Every structure is written in C-alpha cells, then in structure tokens.
Chain A
C-alpha cells in the first residue's frame, strides 16, 4: 500500500476511492472544467507549484515517473535522498552556531564596529548624505536593504536560496517558505538578528510538514517570536520580579554603546540604571495576542473582539525569554503571569493555571473552524490561485478536520482536488521574486556558491529574506509583485544570469543549449528552459535578435536572458 493515492472523481463527488499502485497508468485527476492536462503539462504544473520550477530534464522525468507518484514522494520528504544539499549545507558556517554562539558573535561584532567608529572619529557629513550616495556609482548588486550589521541574516538568506535551488525535497522547501512568511519574524529587530536562524532551523523546519498545532505552539514558545512581537515583556500589571531589583538592563542593539562595553563613569552608571528601571515592563503588551488571532490563526474576520485580544494577552503574560541578549531559551515567569480568569471567544479560562492556559488556548485556536478556513485559504492561494477557489478551500478544510491539521493530509487534499488541475489555474500565478530567482537558477542548472549574491538578487527584486518588517510576511498575490520597476529588474537579473555575470552563480549553458543555428537554439531553449511554453511572438523576436550574431556564446546568452526575463517565465 505504499503509493496509495486517494482522489475524488468527477463521477463520485465526495466519495474517496483508493487507487493502488499503477501510477504510470494513473489517469490525471479530472478537471472540473476543460480537458485534462497531458502528462507533460501536468508534470510541468506540479513542478511549478510544488517545486521551484523544473531543472532541465525534470519535466520528462516526472512525467515518466507519473506525476501523482512524484507528488506522493514529495509529501513524504524524509524518504527522499538529499545528500547533495547536505554536502552543500556543510559549507555554511552559520549552521555550526547555536543561538548563544550567534548572540556572542553579534555582541562582539557590535563592539568591534563601535571601536572602529571611535577610532575613525565622526564620519564626515558629506559622505553620509544621500547626495554623496547618489552621486557615487552604484555598487554592483549591492542591496541597500541589507546593512552590514545584518551579515548573519544575509548568510542565512543565501542558505535559504541554496536550499530552495538544490534540495530534492522541493515541496518541503516550499512549505518552509510558506511557514516562514506565515509566522514571520523580522531578522533586523534587536535580538532577532541572532534568534532568527535558530527559529527557522529548529522551530519552523522540523514542523513544516507536520501538525499545525505543534507548529503554532512551537512558534509561541520561540524566543524569536516572543521577541519580535514583544510578548517576552508583557507582564501582569503590578507584578514584581522575585529578586527584588532584578533589573534587566536590556541593550537596544546597536544603539546604546554603554551597555555592552565596560562602564566606569558612576554618573553614567546611574543613568544606565535609571534607563534600565524605566524599561522594566509594567503591564501587558497586546502585540503578539493580536497577531496570533489575526494572522497566525483565526484571520482578521475570525470573529474576535478587542476584549478577546486583551484576554489573550493576559493569558500569555509570563511567556518570556531567559536573557534574550545572550540568545537564551524560552522561560515562563510565573511572577509575571496574570492570575485572574479570562474569557476568550466565549471560553472561560480559570485563573491560576500558569502556562497551561496558554497551551490550552493555542490548541483551541489551532483547531478552531476559522483557523482551518484561514489557513486552508492561504494554502490554496499559494498552490492553486491568487483567488482561492471555494472547492479547494473546502477540500483542504475537510482534510484538516479528518487529520487534526496534519499538513500531509491537507496538502494531499489540495493536490488531489480538481481545482489544482483545472486549466484555468495552470500558469496563472506570477512568481514571487524568490520563486523567480530560484526557478531561473534551476532552469539553467546553475550552481549557487556560498556567497550571498543570489539572496541579494532576491532582495533587489523586492523580497529581502527574513527582512519583512510587518508580521504578515511577504504577500502571495501577483499585484504585490508585478509592477514596472520590478519587471525591469527581473529582466536585468535574467540577462545577468544568462551571461554569467552574477558572481556567486556558475552557469554552464553548454550542457543545456549546444551549438546550432538560431532555430535550433530557440528550439532547445523552448524545450529545456521554458518547457515548451514559448509563444510564437517570443520565437519571432528571438529569431530577429539572433540574426547577425555569429558568436554562439553571445547569441546563446542573449537568447537565454530574453527567455528568462520574458513574459512566459514570469508565470508558474
């Protein structure tokens, strides 16, 4: 019963039929409208949506394997061998450090930076102004969104791009990206500079294909989220830390030189102490409570009130971090917890149950119908259509109920549903910047190295990874990504990639597009890079542009650049 496929047929709507084995012969599931896709087209569709696009040869491979069989394998990533990625991951130093190490490294880097600044004296005004920046030639591929202090985050961003590009567990990497945005943290906010890598590695990644409830609880307890949405310093009004004047002198990262370095001046020490005292939390902070309801679970129309937000915040008082500036772990402070009773969504939470109240609330939220609907909708938006079809959402919700929110089952329901395969939903979604860059890299079988060039391209196209400041994560809809400037940037990135001018990526077009005349070249690019989606117009334009270019390398780079920067490749 390995490869058991369950789907819902046109004839037997709502009835689950087991389909055993024989995946090569498996009929493609049944569009609600239009003719069924060919094996080639369905393989391409699956590779566009469950993966970051096909590499040369992937489409025929998946079509030969049987697309439903391939999807089933993707749903069980643990069974997929991923040695090549594992070998590549070993080159990323950042994976060798834990939260504490990263915190110490960061503190050290801050100290060095300060000392350098002191040694250099004040920066000259002119060199600091925008005019000076503006007049200077543009640094090649430099990204203004990533200041130097975020180097750790940017190495981590490159790891994300490398994983998305190279991993055989493509659906798993797509889900990691989905959850990274759903449970967004901003890696340039204070301690999140060094808490984020651990958050992605140990909170998100291990649970990306598991039960939603487990992931929700893990994020609620993660230092990165507690810090990002300020819950770590939400306390019951009037609560006092047990050790009397145990003042947490929290550094404002990068802003308060006195707090890391040695402090000798007594007046200064006084002012540091006074400032620290001013910073002692004195009451609740609603930030996490609101986003938990609005974004993480119920959705903005999930039927909660301002009073619900307040009582959720009260339930989470005391959910905190042990020494965040040192990369500490989750810690529950019973002294900070509000012991009164709370009422959330009409459910009473008797006081005095400490952390259990929060766990009980998270379980309640994870299994609330509004949450199932909200999350199912987002998943259908990601995998099927920017405007998720009702049928897809219904299928996902039904699977969620059956499986208590097991992502394997919810995703399986989406991929086996008729909406996923409907012609109206094929090649309708526009790629996000991450999807565009990764799919382009895969399309030309390029090898990203460990420098963060590719992540910088993604950032330049508008999606600096882990640096979305608001808790809603990067958007999924095309309107957020398609605009005049962004399209020109995509064209530039495509040309640079094809001509091997993106440092950090090795492109060897020889293996994909060999010698030949213009028509042969165009044919090969259509087959191997655009998977047969090239329009007649594109062929004509390419033919004309290639006329008169005798140098094969030049012609090939131009044609590949135009193909990847052109309209066909923007869609998935």
Chain B
C-alpha cells in the first residue's frame, strides 16, 4: 500500500479519494438503488495477452517474437501477469485493490466470428441466436426493486446496443448536451417537444412508440441538469475521443442522482490483424486511451466509486502466436477488467490454463476457463443485488461456487 500511495502522489492524484476506506463505506441495509454497473465493450476482440501480459511464461515470448511486450516494459502485477505499460494509469487502482483482471474468460461457444460472438456476449445466450433481448435489459425487466427512471439504463452512442435491447426502458444518448429538441428559445423548445411527444404518443407503433416515450421522459428529467455546465471533479482530465466523452457523461449522470443503474459504452479499434505493436503502436494507443479514460473517470466520480463497478468485455481473444503480418488473428479466451469500490481487487482472477500447446483451445488459442456468464452473473447478484438470474441468463444455472470472486463478500 505504501508504494501505491507514493505512486498516487507522483501521478498527482489525491490518495484520499482513492483510499479503500472511502470505497469501503457500504449502504447499511442490503443492496440499494445507488449501486451502479458501467459496461465497456471492446469491440473487435482485444488481445487479452497483450493487455494483461503473462510475462512469466517463456512461451508468450516464443510465440510473439515481434509483438510481445518486453519483460522490462511490463508493469508487473503478481510476478506472472503484468499490465501493458500504456495502462500505467490503472496501476494505482490495482495497488488500491479496486482493480482486478479476469483472465482466460470467454464464451463456451467456439465461434470466431466477431458478429456472432458479440451477439452471444450481449444476448447472454451463447450458441442461441434467436434470443430477442440483451442480458442487461433482461436484468432490468426482472429486477423490479430498482425504481424505474428514464435514466436507469443508458447506452452512450448513436445506437442502442444489443445488450440493452428489450422491453425494459433504455436510453441511447450520443451527446448528452444535444439530447432533446433544439429551438432558439426555451418556450419554443417546450412547445416543439410537446408537439412531437403528442405525435408519437398518438400514432407511433412498436419500437417507434416505446423509444419516443423514453426519449421524452428523459428530456423532461434532463431539464434540471445543465449538461453544458459540467466540470469534472478532482482535476480529472478525460482523453479526447468517444470513450472519454462517454465516460465523462456517465460520471455526470452518476453525480446527478437521476437513477442511473446500468451504463454502457463501446470502445472500438481492437481488431489488430496487422502491426498491432508491442510497447508502442496500434494496440498500445488504444490501451492508453482506455487506461487514461478509466483513471479519469475514477478520479472524477471520486467517493461515489464506492457504489460503482466498471466492467470491460470483449467478444473473444486473439491467437497466442502472432500472424504473418505482426498482428494476431481471431482466438478464443481473453481478459476482462473490473474496477470500482466493491471490487475484490489487486488480483488476477480466473483459472489460468497456460499457453502450452497441449492446453490450448483447438491447439491454437487460450482456452476458456471462465464462462463470461459466471462473471456477469456475479456482478448482477453480488453488486446489483439481482435475485432471479435464471431469467437473465436462460439455460444457464448461475452457481456462486463458480463466480470468479470479482466482488468483495
């Protein structure tokens, strides 16, 4: 902890806001409405092996002569695994035990198609394409303890992702500042809003009807927020780009106390078939943005991180061996990150299968030892307090014995 504290100082962070004591404060009576889950989807399949590097395994270096992260650059975590150096911003969170990684996690389905694998990870039903809704939406459908507000489930981006598709209300917000109707004067804006609201209430059907109703409910609530005036706290500086913007807006909604429980955002650019780089390069750039954005978010949200868990997920991992163009092709298991006050941090969770050819999936990829649903179910049950997991993950028996242990008991 001591070195962790020093590291925080050297990064200019206030160690108090990260202190475990602050995170450790929990609501006295069971899971409350204040618990929040933020999911980031690394679309394109992140190379888990260069994100959480098994630098203690010589096979890693043998198989990746051009793209392995050199031992000297890896930020060691536990003597065997280490962080990619461009995730340095997350190291203080690891030291503060609010960040954990889960390795060798993935889908029981063998597909190496981005689209099928993303679909399965979002529907929560690997191998079943006919599932109409996403698991985060099903959680909202079945867990009625949380008060429904228009902002209960929000996706940041121009499209509502599969994971939030379904009958429970969920918003898609591409730009919080621009959310709503635009008119020169407030009176004109209110009038326009009312007119459109009535048009849709009276004649829209299907998805047009439900989505528009959610939109107008949210617009009403947003009136008391002034998104343009938001300033991140604690000197947090978000990196430029979509991810930084999305996390900034999520932080804003968290602090606005308008009932946010589930937030989602996409992070693209992980499909590194060519020249993915090692310490520097393409993947390093993406990781740097991810790490910096998460660190800024944690700093901005401050004390409230005690109620927040951030999860990163990706549809599958990449080949252990680098391909012919200094990149990696589609593989199987990958690594995910969880961070926040309730996280059982400072450890790499999951059962590591090893990189030995005999232990690989189909003789080439990291084998999956943790079904992604085990982690997702744990977050829902132990963080958000979900009761009925069989409705959220149909065909899957959630068993706390198999939970990877991401949330402190």
Q: Do A and B come from one complex?
A: yes
Residues of chain A touching chain B, judged by Cβ–Cβ distance below 8 Å, are 125, 128-131, 133-135, 137-138, 144, 230, 233-235, 237, 252, 278-279, 281-287, 290, 294, 300, 306, 309, 430, 461-462, 469-470, 472, 478-489, 491-492, 495, 535, 537-538, 540-541, 545, 562, 565-568, 570-571
Residue B182 is within 8 A (CB to CB) of chain A in the complex:
yes
The answer to whether A487 and B211 touch across the interface, beta carbons within 8 angstroms, is yes
Say how far A77's CB is from chain B's closest CB, in angstroms: 32
Distance A481 CA – B177 CA, assembled complex (angstroms): 20
Q: Which of A129, A234, A309, A488 lies in contact with B237, CB distance below 8 A?
A: A129
Residue B116 is within 8 A (CB to CB) of chain A in the complex:
yes
- When C-beta atoms are compared, the residue in chain A nearest to B158 turns out to be A462
The answer to whether B323 and A283 touch across the interface, beta carbons within 8 angstroms, is yes
The answer to whether B196 and A483 touch across the interface, beta carbons within 8 angstroms, is no
Find chain A residues with CB under 8 A from B268 CB: 469
Say how far B216's CB is from chain A's closest CB, in angstroms: 9
Find chain A residues with CB under 8 A from B113 CB: 290, 294, 300
How many residues does chain B have at the interface if contact means C-beta atoms less than 8 Å apart? 75
The answer to whether B160 and A287 touch across the interface, beta carbons within 8 angstroms, is no
Say how far A219's CB is from chain B's closest CB, in angstroms: 18
Say how far B289's CB is from chain A's closest CB, in angstroms: 11
Which of B192, B209, B327 is most buried by chain A, counting CB atoms within 10 A of its CB? Answer: B192
The answer to whether A486 and B158 touch across the interface, beta carbons within 8 angstroms, is yes
Residue B32 is within 8 A (CB to CB) of chain A in the complex:
no
Q: Which of B172, B175, B239 lies in contact with A484, CB distance below 8 A?
A: B172
Say how far A550's CB is from chain B's closest CB, in angstroms: 16
The answer to whether B159 and A486 touch across the interface, beta carbons within 8 angstroms, is yes
- When C-beta atoms are compared, the residue in chain B nearest to A561 turns out to be B192
Q: A487-B215, A535-B202 are in contact. Are A285 and B327 (CB under 8 A)?
A: yes
Q: A430-B208, A472-B115, A541-B199 are in contact. Are A286 and B330 (CB under 8 A)?
A: yes
Distance A368 CA – B244 CA, assembled complex (angstroms): 45
Give me the 3 closest cross-chain CB pairs, A-B, nearest first. A283-B324, A537-B202, A462-B158
Say how far A566's CB is from chain B's closest CB, in angstroms: 4
- When C-beta atoms are compared, the residue in chain B nearest to A430 turns out to be B208
* Extra A-B contacts (13), CB below 8 Å, given A129-B239, A485-B179, A566-B200: A128-B240, A131-B237, A134-B228, A230-B273, A234-B324, A237-B324, A300-B111, A480-B159, A535-B202, A541-B195, A541-B202, A567-B204, A567-B212
Q: A483-B159, A484-B214 are in contact. Are A570 and B181 (CB under 8 A)?
A: no
Find chain A residues with CB under 8 A from B269 CB: 469
- When C-beta atoms are compared, the residue in chain A nearest to B362 turns out to be A306
Find chain A residues with CB under 8 A from B29 CB: none
Find chain B residues with CB under 8 A from A281 CB: 324-325
Q: Which of B230, B323, B326, B329 lies in contact with A278, CB distance below 8 A?
A: B326
Residue B258 is within 8 A (CB to CB) of chain A in the complex:
no
Say how far A502's CB is from chain B's closest CB, in angstroms: 12
Find chain A residues with CB under 8 A from B182 CB: 492, 495
Find chain B residues with CB under 8 A from A278 CB: 66, 326
Find chain A residues with CB under 8 A from B202 CB: 535, 537-538, 540-541
Say how far B10's CB is from chain A's closest CB, in angstroms: 18
- When C-beta atoms are compared, the residue in chain B nearest to A535 turns out to be B203
Distance A230 CA – B324 CA, assembled complex (angstroms): 10
From 286 to 337 in chain B, residues with beta carbon under 8 angstroms from any chain A beta carbon are 323-327, 329-330
The answer to whether B239 and A130 touch across the interface, beta carbons within 8 angstroms, is yes
Residue B43 is within 8 A (CB to CB) of chain A in the complex:
yes
Find chain A residues with CB under 8 A from B330 CB: 286, 290
Q: A144-B242, A480-B159, A483-B172 are in contact. Are A567 and B324 (CB under 8 A)?
A: no
The answer to whether B178 and A138 touch across the interface, beta carbons within 8 angstroms, is yes
Q: Which of B158, B196, B230 lies in contact with A491, CB distance below 8 A?
A: B196
The answer to whether A568 and B274 touch across the interface, beta carbons within 8 angstroms, is no
Say how far A495's CB is from chain B's closest CB, in angstroms: 7
Find chain A residues with CB under 8 A from B160 CB: 479, 482-484
Residue B238 is within 8 A (CB to CB) of chain A in the complex:
yes
Distance A286 CA – B319 CA, assembled complex (angstroms): 11
Say how far B404's CB is from chain A's closest CB, in angstroms: 28
Say how far A417's CB is from chain B's closest CB, in angstroms: 24
Residue B4 is within 8 A (CB to CB) of chain A in the complex:
no
The answer to whether A566 and B203 touch across the interface, beta carbons within 8 angstroms, is yes
Say how far B113's CB is from chain A's closest CB, in angstroms: 5
- When C-beta atoms are compared, the residue in chain B nearest to A287 turns out to be B273
B250-273 vs A: 1/0 string, CB under 8 Å? 000000000000000000110101
Distance A401 CA – B155 CA, assembled complex (angstroms): 44
Residue B73 is within 8 A (CB to CB) of chain A in the complex:
no
The answer to whether B329 and A487 touch across the interface, beta carbons within 8 angstroms, is no
- When C-beta atoms are compared, the residue in chain B nearest to A284 turns out to be B324
Say how far B282's CB is from chain A's closest CB, in angstroms: 8
The answer to whether B324 and A235 touch across the interface, beta carbons within 8 angstroms, is yes
Q: Which of B159, B192, B198, B274 lies in contact with A233, CB distance below 8 A?
A: B274
Residue B37 is within 8 A (CB to CB) of chain A in the complex:
no
Q: Which of A134, A306, A479, A486 lies in contact with B245, CB distance below 8 A?
A: A134
The answer to whether B325 and A484 touch across the interface, beta carbons within 8 angstroms, is no
Residue B248 is within 8 A (CB to CB) of chain A in the complex:
yes
Q: A134-B245, A278-B66 are in contact. Are A568 and B203 (CB under 8 A)?
A: yes
Residue B218 is within 8 A (CB to CB) of chain A in the complex:
yes
Q: Which of A300, A478, A484, A489 lies in contact with B116, CB distance below 8 A?
A: A300
Residue B279 is within 8 A (CB to CB) of chain A in the complex:
no
Distance A135 CA – B228 CA, assembled complex (angstroms): 6
The answer to whether B244 and A130 touch across the interface, beta carbons within 8 angstroms, is yes
The answer to whether B325 and A488 touch across the interface, beta carbons within 8 angstroms, is no
The answer to whether A492 and B215 touch across the interface, beta carbons within 8 angstroms, is no
Q: A233-B325, A488-B181 are in contact. Are A470 and B200 (CB under 8 A)?
A: no
Q: A230-B273, A290-B113, A492-B182 are in contact. Are A545 and B195 (CB under 8 A)?
A: yes
Q: A483-B172, A567-B212 are in contact. Are A537 and B112 (CB under 8 A)?
A: no
- When C-beta atoms are compared, the residue in chain B nearest to A567 turns out to be B204
Say how far B166's CB is from chain A's closest CB, in angstroms: 10
21 pairs, A vs B, C-beta closer than 8 Å: A130-B237, A130-B239, A130-B244, A130-B248, A138-B175, A144-B242, A252-B275, A279-B275, A279-B325, A281-B324, A282-B326, A285-B323, A285-B327, A286-B273, A290-B330, A294-B113, A482-B160, A484-B172, A485-B215, A567-B199, A567-B209
The answer to whether A306 and B112 touch across the interface, beta carbons within 8 angstroms, is yes
From 149 to 166 in chain B, residues with beta carbon under 8 angstroms from any chain A beta carbon are 155, 158-160, 165
Residue B48 is within 8 A (CB to CB) of chain A in the complex:
no
The answer to whether A133 and B240 touch across the interface, beta carbons within 8 angstroms, is yes
Distance A492 CA – B184 CA, assembled complex (angstroms): 12
Find chain A residues with CB under 8 A from B206 CB: 478
The answer to whether B159 and A130 touch across the interface, beta carbons within 8 angstroms, is no
The answer to whether A129 and B240 touch across the interface, beta carbons within 8 angstroms, is yes
Residue B232 is within 8 A (CB to CB) of chain A in the complex:
yes
Say how far B132's CB is from chain A's closest CB, in angstroms: 9
The answer to whether A285 and B159 touch across the interface, beta carbons within 8 angstroms, is no
Q: Which of A131, A137, A235, A469 lies in contact with B238, CB distance below 8 A?
A: A131
Distance A207 CA – B274 CA, assembled complex (angstroms): 30
Find chain A residues with CB under 8 A from B325 CB: 230, 233-234, 279, 281-283, 285
Residue B360 is within 8 A (CB to CB) of chain A in the complex:
no
Q: Which of A237, A309, A470, A484 lies in contact with B171, CB distance below 8 A?
A: A484
The answer to whether B203 and A484 touch across the interface, beta carbons within 8 angstroms, is no
Distance A462 CA – B324 CA, assembled complex (angstroms): 35
Say how far A356's CB is from chain B's closest CB, in angstroms: 22
Distance A495 CA – B192 CA, assembled complex (angstroms): 9
Say how far A31's CB is from chain B's closest CB, in angstroms: 21
Find chain A residues with CB under 8 A from B274 CB: 230, 233, 285
- When C-beta atoms are compared, the residue in chain B nearest to A470 turns out to be B114
Distance A544 CA – B208 CA, assembled complex (angstroms): 23
Distance A485 CA – B171 CA, assembled complex (angstroms): 7
Which of B43, B239, B326 is most buried by chain A, counting CB atoms within 10 A of its CB? Answer: B326
Say how far B136's CB is from chain A's closest CB, in angstroms: 14
Residue B15 is within 8 A (CB to CB) of chain A in the complex:
no
Distance A492 CA – B192 CA, assembled complex (angstroms): 10
Find chain B residues with CB under 8 A from A290 CB: 112-113, 330
Residue B142 is within 8 A (CB to CB) of chain A in the complex:
no
Q: A488-B179, A537-B199 are in contact. Are A285 and B207 (CB under 8 A)?
A: no
